[in-house]
A and B are shown apart, each in its own frame.
Chain A
Amino acid sequence: MSAPLIVIGNGMAAAKFCEELANQGLGRYSVAVIGAEPHLAYNRVLLSSLLAGEVTAGDIELRNRDWWQARGVTLIYGRPALSIDTERNRVNLADGSSLGFSKLVLATGSHPIRLPIPGMELPGVMTFRERADVDALLAAAKPGTRAIVIGGGLLGLEAATGVAAAGARTTVIHLMDRLMERQLDPRAGALLKQAVEARGIEVLLGASTAAIEGQESAEGRRVAGLRLSDGRLLPADLVIVACGVRPNADLARAAGLDCNRGVMVDDGLATSHADIHAIGECAEHRGQVYGLVEPAYDHARVLARCLAGRAAAYEGSITATNLKVSGVHVFSAGDFTGGAGTQDIVLSDPGIGLYRRLILRQDGQGTRLIGAVLFGDTADGLFYLDLIRSGRDIGAQRADLAFGPTFMTDFDTAEAA
């Protein structure tokens, strides 16, 4: 009776989607999830915590086997999908089997970006994306190991903190003039650099990598250093490439679905094929691809409703970034570029590493929060994110806004949430 629904990908988006679908319309579909990684779905966000040794592998598992069973989901993991037959609505798996679907959901996530430079293939050059990467990194990062992380974004900093905590002498090299430039303004970026350096991690800004250099060893040729484009050679036993991710649209592209950077979807998360949908990091909606969990969950919720036959539309996400490095609290949401028509409120206390910038837009309708950058104390981050999303007029609370909901008088915070 139930229509077969296949989810390709067994990450956070997939798990959320299954949960939402079970809530919305249990029994309508018989669901199978195909995962490439040989694990139950886990919380990718916590990989850096796992790397840092703050949690164990069990802690990051999203749902246990019983949970999936209770929802009638067939889990097929460790067997990647090889192709999609859009004519016959079938998915071909690596083991040669194939599964038919009435609905297909692509939740294939992202690939880490690999740099087009010599030496990327050398042993000792790693990425930080999957659980297996954590194991590899922990095996490689020993006291005395010289580690270089390419990329001073969220992922790079989390990787650097992790391997540094494991004892590696760590350097972060970053192409831009400040860390996390896509999420932080210059002052927050500078504070972050101080905080990272305070953990014994060297940070080189404006540094572009020319090549990874190798050298012969007992185990064969492996990484020995990193050559910067200014000619400097930084010795390294381990190079972690964390320059970002790109949507994994490989299957879709091969199947002839419309793709740009990611798999193009409409407000119902449908691809150019009416029975095929895409959610999470692999999807491109209104020209936007997201590398964060929050939009993926939004996708999952909307799609589950749609497939349950209810009206729902996805109109884009306002995202927030939270750096997960213990003791370093960084939060960023919305538009912090400022510019014409916006106003800034800045609260700073360098002595205790505190910085908070709120970006407002004031017009005839009132005053709205459109962006927030928090450094040092991010407890109010979600509160600001809600304000940004709701577009509520905060004109009357402007004087207290920077101090968070506890200090905002006559303000019903429940309303904002």
Chain B
Amino acid sequence: MNAPVPPIAPETDAPVMRTTCPYCGVGCGVLARPDGAGGTSVAGDPDHPANFGRLCSKGSALGETLGLATRLLHPMARGGDGRMARVEWDTAIGQIAQAFGQTIERHGPDAVAFYLSGQLLTEDYYAANKLAKGFLGTANVDTNSRLCMASSVAGHRRAFGSDTVPGVYADLDEADLVVLVGSNAAWCHPILFRRLEAARAGRGTKLVVIDPRRTATGDEADLFLPVNPGKDTVLFAGLLAWLADHEALDHAYIDAHTSGFAQALASARAMAPDIEQIARETGIPTADLVEFYTLFTTHERAVTCYSQGVNQSAQGTDKVNAILNVHLATGRIGRPGMGPFSLTGQPNAMGGREVGGLANQLAAHMTFTPADIDRVRRFWRAPRMAAREGLKAVEMFEAVAAGRIKALWIMGTNPAVSLPQAASAARALGSLDFLVVSENVATNDTVSCRPHLVLPALAWGEKDGTVTNSERRISRQRAFLPAPGEARADWWAMAQVGRRLGFDEAFAWRSAADVFREHAALSGFENDGSRDFDLGGLASLDDAAFDLLAPVQWPVRSEGDTADKRFFANGRFFTPDRRARFVAPMAARLATEVGTDVPFILNTGRIRDQWHTMTRTGLSPRLGAHLPVPFVEIHPSDAAQLGAEDGALVALQSAHGSAVLEARLSAGQKRGALFAPIHWSNATSSNARINDLVAAVTDPVSGQPESKAMPVRAAVLPVRFRGFILSRAAVADLPALWWAKVAVEGGEGYLIATDQEPDEWRHHAAAILGTRDYAEYVDAPGGMYRAAAFDDAGALVGAVFLSPGGARASWDGLKARLAARTLSSTGRRHLLSGRGDDRAAASGPLVCACFAVSTSQIDAALAAEPGADVQRLGQMLRAGTNCGSCVPELRKLIQRRAPADLATVGVLA
């Protein structure tokens, strides 16, 4: 098994395991120390080069997400009666082998498919890819990474001939200008953003943020450019032309290492003929355009980081290339402090790309050329190689719906929530002849799609293998907890199926290390520098060395070749002529334009403290406290036109679906633009699965859907009552017309809306709370109802609160009571007031999730020390001193209190 690293804290002899965070693509090192009693303490690994000891709010809360209450612990198969029942792993493996084997026999190999995840380890990905592409004969292997960074892959491959991230994180430390495009890094890549903030403080690095909405990241920028949705290519075409006009091009680099520049420049000039035209199209004021272009021209050490705002677009690949163009044209690539930098969303999107876990890749950064196919066939000794690209995610689910794919294996992802037109995807899943889902959790929207088989997968802390972060750094995820129930590694399950199908030798791995060595060997197989991805130097690691493997950047072409590397400073691209390609983007436009019936453009994305469909982060009360309900951000003027106050419920409707979300008024939104988070599902809310609304329209090159520009209409949903339910136990069948579920300390919370009268809720409350000792507050004419139930010890076990009107209800005073195992008699008497015992301590929304610091604590500190800045607040309350992702919010709170600064804020907004 794994060799534990030496304990970092000498005062305890509990074993500490070095591992890697399972959230975003930054790939932070984590020190995990299980306490042996079900809990685990988590800290940043000071020696990991991605984070040097820091963790963000999500990473810090990992210890709160390791409970087994929601886990799937045994293989379950659907019986003749339609119910799921436990089966032996052996039976389950046999069912899969039989179903996939028979489907291929009857309908051909492309009737089966694998839908994978950027959460899988590289070894799992490798096993799936090998099984499908070498032994089943299909390239129908795609992944949720398609929804995340496929456009970056495609852009890289078009420009570089390979899917290569040229730079390293250290470039952020050494840059003089950092441009963030379509990236809310302050929330979504907080540790990298901290690194950037440190550079700004240390060397005065300038920060430009380009985003249709002013996010927490935009708030921190030296220059914020509120680009119109879909117009990034115009902005960067304009930059390319500006660079040419201001003699800022690196002609030597262009001449020596690239091709296609002249056409690209001509195209850019046509797209962005003058600054006024660019300003009109992008919506960015001329002066700001000039400032940005000038900054870029005068700062050679410039890094352009881009993320989902670029990728999740029907023109995402063009956007990537428009960015790559300016770096190629200035030769600012692969040198310290400069280069284009794709910030990956998932912990192992990069690892998936490396093994070929995308339908249009073969394996180890090889493609479907005859030479590559032959090479991989020989390496694998594969009997049935896939000969052509498979179906990309959206196409794959269309094929499922059309009945062309009949057997599907989903692993580690929740497509019924995350795919565009999610409801259609969910319906399609229900029509499969055979659906198997490998999962951590017993229920989610995908598991609700009537799979024939569900398999218990190992979760973070249990599984063992490698992941690759955004800077090509491979780190170990190590097991520090025992496998619960019958949970097994995904690579193991697939290997068993391979063996059951008769491929004993090809799937004889005994360990993740075996898989990794084979993967490394394939990457180095007949490589000799011809492919960027090469782990040949790690192919002969023994088990002990694999266990102790320190974070290492690829390529590792030979043993001991572990230094950090950048690519392309001296050209040597992976195109046939080793030259990079300039790509002229198509005319910038959105796939679907707004119209009179759908006048708003809906942007979707992540929030600071949640991850994907919340099956893990949703377990943490701390993380749930920041933004507890599904919401839609809307410009105050638009809200006023709709008649929506802050907190009102707003119904969004697109051509494909609807959602009901809480309005959050934000001057950071453009007029006519909305933003809603992606995280809520039918498991966590009545009607907030945002991808139900998003059209399955994709980029023609990358196949990535346009997730950030969906035309919708919006209307206030009038409700008579709003409120909440707190309960130690989960509540089934909520009798509310709208609800959202939130983890709270000591139980579950539900924010609800209802049209039913308090008198009806008296009955519901009795059913929800049980017929035990409970207190009630009834003001039927006033539309108020409150009830609270107590256990034998007098502690709160549940509460129901309802108020009239459309405003959101505050539960801060009650939440803490659910966690407490005791309640004083005074506390009980005041409980239904909805306030805490000590009114001064009534906490308000959480700002700093790491140290649980609330708005009211911050307000109190600022009242006590009016001049306090972010740093001082950190000293006083620790707020913002860990992950720092709340620093923008802290700054806002400080500004809100300082009248002198208000004018400035107003101008910026």
Which residues of A approach B to under 8 Å, CB–CB?
343-352, 354, 362, 377, 398-400, 402-403, 406-407
Contact = CB atoms under 8 A, between A and B. Distances in A.
A402 B785 CA distance: 12
Contact of A351 (B778, B781, B790): B790
Interface of B: 773-782, 784, 790, 794, 803, 825, 828-830, 832-833, 835, 839
Q: Helix, strand, loop or mixed for chain A's interface?
A: mixed
15 contacts: A344-B781, A349-B775, A349-B776, A351-B774, A352-B828, A354-B829, A362-B781, A398-B784, A399-B779, A399-B782, A399-B803, A402-B777, A402-B779, A407-B830, A407-B839
A368 to B, nearest CB: 14
Which 8 pairs of residues, A with B, have the shortest CB-CB distance? A349-B775, A403-B833, A351-B773, A343-B781, A345-B779, A407-B833, A347-B777, A346-B778
A343 B782 contact: yes
B782 A352 contact: no
Contacts of A407: 830, 833, 835, 839
Nearest to A351: B773
B693 to A, nearest CB: 35
- Between A345, A354, A399, A400, the greatest number of chain B beta carbons within 10 A of the residue's beta carbon is seen for A399
A346 B776 CA distance: 8
A374 B528 CA distance: 88
A377 B779 contact: no
Contacts of B774: 349, 351
B771 to A, nearest CB: 12
A26 to B, nearest CB: 46
A347 B777 CA distance: 4
B829 A349 contact: yes
A354 B794 CA distance: 14
Contacts of A406: 839
A108 B514 CA distance: 105
A348 B775 contact: yes
A351 B775 contact: yes
Nearest to B828: A352
Contact of A398 (B778, B779, B794, B828): B779
A364 B774 CA distance: 36
A346 B832 CA distance: 11
Given A351-B773, A351-B774, A402-B777, A377 B782 contact: no
A383 B652 CA distance: 47
Contacts of B782: 343, 345, 398-399
Contact of A377 (B784, B829, B833): B829
Nearest to A347: B777
B765 to A, nearest CB: 13
B775 A354 contact: yes
Given A344-B781, A349-B774, 4 more contacts: A345-B778, A346-B778, A362-B781, A377-B829
Contact of B825 (A347, A352, A400): A352
Contacts of B781: 343-344, 362
A326 to B, nearest CB: 17
Contacts of A343: 779, 781-782
Q: Helix, strand, loop or mixed for chain B's interface?
A: mixed
B777 A346 contact: yes
Nearest to B776: A348
A353 B794 CA distance: 13
A349 B828 contact: yes
Nearest to B813: A407
Contacts of B829: 349, 352, 354, 377
B150 to A, nearest CB: 51
- Between A344, A362, A398, A403, the greatest number of chain B beta carbons within 10 A of the residue's beta carbon is seen for A403
Nearest to A348: B776
B778 A400 contact: no
Nearest to A358: B779
Nearest to A354: B829
- Between A349, A377, A400, the greatest number of chain B beta carbons within 10 A of the residue's beta carbon is seen for A349
B84 to A, nearest CB: 41
A57 to B, nearest CB: 34
Nearest to B786: A347
Contacts of A377: 829
A377 B773 CA distance: 18
B726 to A, nearest CB: 17
Contacts of B776: 346-349
Contacts of A350: 773, 775
A352 B790 CA distance: 11
B832 A347 contact: yes
Nearest to A399: B784
Contacts of A345: 777-779, 782, 784
A348 B774 CA distance: 9
A347 B773 CA distance: 14
Contacts of B778: 344-347
A347 B778 CA distance: 6
A345 B777 CA distance: 7
A343 B777 CA distance: 14
Contacts of B779: 343-346, 398-399, 402
Contacts of B794: 351
A404 to B, nearest CB: 9
Contacts of A399: 779, 782, 784, 803
A80 to B, nearest CB: 49
A138 B556 CA distance: 100
A351 B791 CA distance: 11
A398 B828 CA distance: 20
Contacts of A354: 775, 829
Nearest to B782: A398
A373 to B, nearest CB: 14
Nearest to A345: B779
Contacts of B839: 406-407
A58 B833 CA distance: 42
B775 A403 contact: no
B645 to A, nearest CB: 17
A293 to B, nearest CB: 28
- Between B774, B777, B780, the greatest number of chain A beta carbons within 10 A of the residue's beta carbon is seen for B777
A343 B774 CA distance: 23
A407 B838 CA distance: 10
A343 B835 CA distance: 24
- Between B773, B833, B835, the greatest number of chain A beta carbons within 10 A of the residue's beta carbon is seen for B833
A346 B803 CA distance: 15
A345 B790 CA distance: 22
- Between B778, B794, B839, the greatest number of chain A beta carbons within 10 A of the residue's beta carbon is seen for B778
A255 to B, nearest CB: 52
A399 B803 CA distance: 9
A344 B782 CA distance: 9
B832 to A, nearest CB: 6
Contacts of A351: 773-775, 790, 794
Nearest to A346: B778
Nearest to B778: A346
A345 B825 CA distance: 22
A407 B778 CA distance: 17
A377 B832 CA distance: 14
A399 B782 CA distance: 8
Contacts of A362: 781
B773 A403 contact: no
Contacts of A402: 777, 779, 832-833
A27 B828 CA distance: 55
A349 B830 CA distance: 11
A101 B794 CA distance: 65
A402 B773 CA distance: 20
Contacts of B833: 400, 402-403, 407
A350 B789 CA distance: 11
A402 B839 CA distance: 16
A405 to B, nearest CB: 12
A407 B831 CA distance: 11
B396 to A, nearest CB: 52
A261 B315 CA distance: 94
Nearest to B781: A343
Contacts of A352: 775, 825, 828-829
Contacts of B777: 345-348, 402
